[in-house]
Structure 1
Amino acid sequence: MSRQKILITGASSGLGAGMARQFAAKGRDLALCARRLDNLDELKAELTARHPGITVAIAALDVNDHDQVPKVFAELSEEIGGLDCVIVNAGIGKGYPLGGGKLWANKATIETNLVAALVQIETALEVFNASGNGHLVLVSSVLGNVGVPGVKAAYSASKAGVTSLGQSLRAEYPSSGPIKVTVLEPGYIESEMTAKSNSTMLMVDNETGVKAMVEAIEKEKGRAVVPAWPWWPLVEVMKLLPPRLTKRFA
């Protein structure tokens, strides 16, 4: 099914901005929100110049301001004439080894990637249940499949939580029903977040990685590891590794 009106959180850069560009090229109307409104202004100008037939609405949103999430979703929905798809993408990659004295960094990651994701999920489902139709997309990570020591411990835990929420929702909303749920598990795709990690392991460029994400979204798959190669078989291997060997993903 082709979803015309798509909301993306965390759309000011990285995977969110990449998805916005590819959906715009497909002629979709977009509701884009993120903390950095100046980045969204630039992105909107770019997209409407390249694709003058689409509608692009933008709004500043810190997903940790839970009261603002339903308000911003409603405002953006009204501006583009409804929501067919909500992509829960906003996230951060802060972290420090557990017990290392920087609780604030790990707490921020759990709150932004998991608690705020829950708020977005609740809000999106309220919209879809009211309309009787919709597609909810949760952007998790391949690291949600395994515990990772060091600076990525909180990040992998937060994404495991997102994946688990998605699995629960897929059981609640069957694929044959009007409300679809997709859990995306990206591998290492070029973005601001991966740049800060200083890791280039199996890294793909933003356009290639985001293309795989958008293709999975368009097919409305229940779960998709993207790009499928080499990450799908690698994820299955990761699940079997003893804990001491998962540090190579940190």
Structure 2
Amino acid sequence: MADPKRKTVLITGASSGLGAEMARQLAALGHDLALCARRIEKLDALKGEIAAAHPERRVEVRTLDVNDDEEVFEVFRGFKKDFGTIDRVIINAGIGKGAPLGTGRWDANKETAMTNFVAALAQSEAAMEIFREQDAGHFVMISSMSAMRGMPKTMTTYAATKAGVAHIAEGLRNELYGKPIKVTVLYPGYISSEMNERVDPKKAKGMVSTEKGVRSMVAAIEKEVDSACVPPLPWAPMSLVMKHAPLGVLKKII
């Protein structure tokens, strides 16, 4: 008899950082995995690692460039065909590029907007296509604490995209309220990952290890909460400060 707690979880951006660690922790909790990212060699290595630690888990991997709209739908549909059912989709793929507006780096800001918002919208379409057909599923959007308020300089475009994807998830939750499809949006704070490895530690107060940060993320995902700042401390109370503090006060703490 199938384990009712065992889910098939599709994770984008799963080759490193938060995505790879979510895969490890979700496999340890008993879930099967559909993992996709651009770097297939890293996915293959992760698959081998998980197979060695949890041989009873099923892990399938596919190459995916989330900026290729057709490939997004092809990969999601392919995983659905592989497993028969996709119980949870975690939209995690993203980049951290950006520059102050008007400084000649339109290319970096456009790339951030296309990858973090437009590509996330495509992934949302592909996920919801599956969930509507099944009339069941768990949609998880990885946003950021930077979505709480407009951010300055190199963070301006990035924060705007993260606010945008949070609203995609919140809009779906509004639409699907009371129905079998659940929606979660997570707002991670400073969690060590490949994306922020160049961040000055002095400007990243409260940064936690990838393993610890993802443990908070996975706990919230497993509970299927509507939304959560992760880790809860200090980020849940900090979210109120970020949203409501006078700008002069906010500028001193970010």
TM range (shorter): over 0.9
Q: Tell me which of 181, 184, 187 is aligned to 2:183.
A: 181
- Partner-residue secondary structure (3-state), 1:196: coil
- On the 8 A contact 1:57/1:80 being kept in 2, the answer is no
Could you say what the CA RMSD is over the residues aligned between the two structures, in angstroms? 1.4
Q: Provide Cα deviations, 1:153-197, integer angstroms capped at 9, x if missing partner.
A: 1110000101111111111111x3200000000111010112122
Q: 1:3 to 1:144 in 2, by over 3 A?
A: farther
Q: Provide Cα deviations, 1:92-125, integer angstroms capped at 9, x if missing partner.
A: 0001111111001011111111111111111111
Equivalent residue for 1:148?
151
Q: Provide Cα deviations, 1:4-31, integer angstroms capped at 9, x if missing partner.
A: 1000000000100010000111121100
Matched, 1:9 2:12: yes
Q: Tell me which of 205, 208, 213 is aligned to 1:209.
A: 213
Trace 1:1-250 onto structure 2 (pairs within 5 A): 2=5, 4-174=7-177, 176-199=178-201, 200-247=204-251
- Partner-residue secondary structure (3-state), 2:187: strand
- Partner-residue secondary structure (3-state), 2:197: helix
Structure 1, 130-139 or 70-79: larger mean CA deviation: 70-79
TM-aligned CA deviation for residue 74 of structure 1: 1.3
TM-aligned CA deviation for residue 77 of structure 1: 2.1
Q: Determine the C-alpha separation between the residues in 2 that align with 1:217 and 1:85.
A: 10
- Report how many residues are paired: 249
- On the 8 A contact 1:3/1:84 being kept in 2, the answer is no
- Partner-residue secondary structure (3-state), 1:83: coil
- Partner-residue secondary structure (3-state), 1:194: coil
Aligned sequence identity (%) = 51
Q: 1:140 to 1:110 in 2, by over 3 A?
A: same
**TM (normalized to structure 2)?**
0.94
- On the 8 A contact 2:6/2:30 being kept in 1, the answer is no
TM-aligned CA deviation for residue 80 of structure 1: 2.8
Q: 1:248 to 1:76 in 2, by over 3 A?
A: farther
TM-aligned CA deviation for residue 249 of structure 1: 6.4
Gaps of 5+ in 2: none
Q: Determine the C-alpha separation between the residues in 1 that align with 2:137 and 2:13.
A: 20
- On the 8 A contact 2:10/2:33 being kept in 1, the answer is yes
- On the 8 A contact 2:6/2:32 being kept in 1, the answer is no
Matched AA of 2:191: I
**TM (normalized to structure 1)?**
0.96
Q: Determine the C-alpha separation between the residues in 1 that align with 2:252 and 2:22.
A: 29
Structure 1, 240-249 or 228-237: larger mean CA deviation: 240-249
Matched AA of 2:151: V
Q: Determine the C-alpha separation between the residues in 2 that align with 1:24 and 1:247.
A: 40
- On the 8 A contact 2:191/2:213 being kept in 1, the answer is yes
**Which segments of structure 1 move beyond 4 Å, counting only runs of 4 or more?**
244-250
- Partner-residue secondary structure (3-state), 1:32: strand
- On the 8 A contact 1:27/1:54 being kept in 2, the answer is yes
